[in-house]
């Protein structure tokens, strides 16, 4: 994690030296990460029966 933070800090410094606008990275909060994981799981759970039926050769 420290290496990633150092890379972001270096990127911000490089962009500021080039005269560009201020670059801001907002870290995701724990509830946001949990929501992303839950959404991904829900999508997979919704698609799984359809894909399983198609792979088994049955009708939808």
Q: What are the tens digits of pLDDT across the range 3-52?
A: 878 888 887 787 777 655 555 667 888 989 999 999 999 999 999 999 99
CA atoms within 13 A on the CB side of 8: 11
pTM over 0.85: no
Domain holding 49, by residue range, is 2-56
Domain count, the chain: 1
Tell me the C-alpha distance between 23 and 16, whole Å: 8
Residue 19: what pLDDT? 58
Under 8 Å between Cβ of 4 and 12: no
Residue 25: what pLDDT? 63
């Amino acid at each position: 994690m420290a290496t990633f933070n150092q890379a972001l800090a270096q990127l911000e410094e490089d962009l500021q030296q080039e005269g560009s606008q201020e670059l801001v990275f907002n870290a995701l909060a724990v509830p946001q990460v949990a929501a992303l994981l839950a959404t991904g799981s829900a999508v997979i759970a919704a698609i799984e029966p359809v894909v399983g039926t198609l792979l088994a050769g049955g009708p939808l």
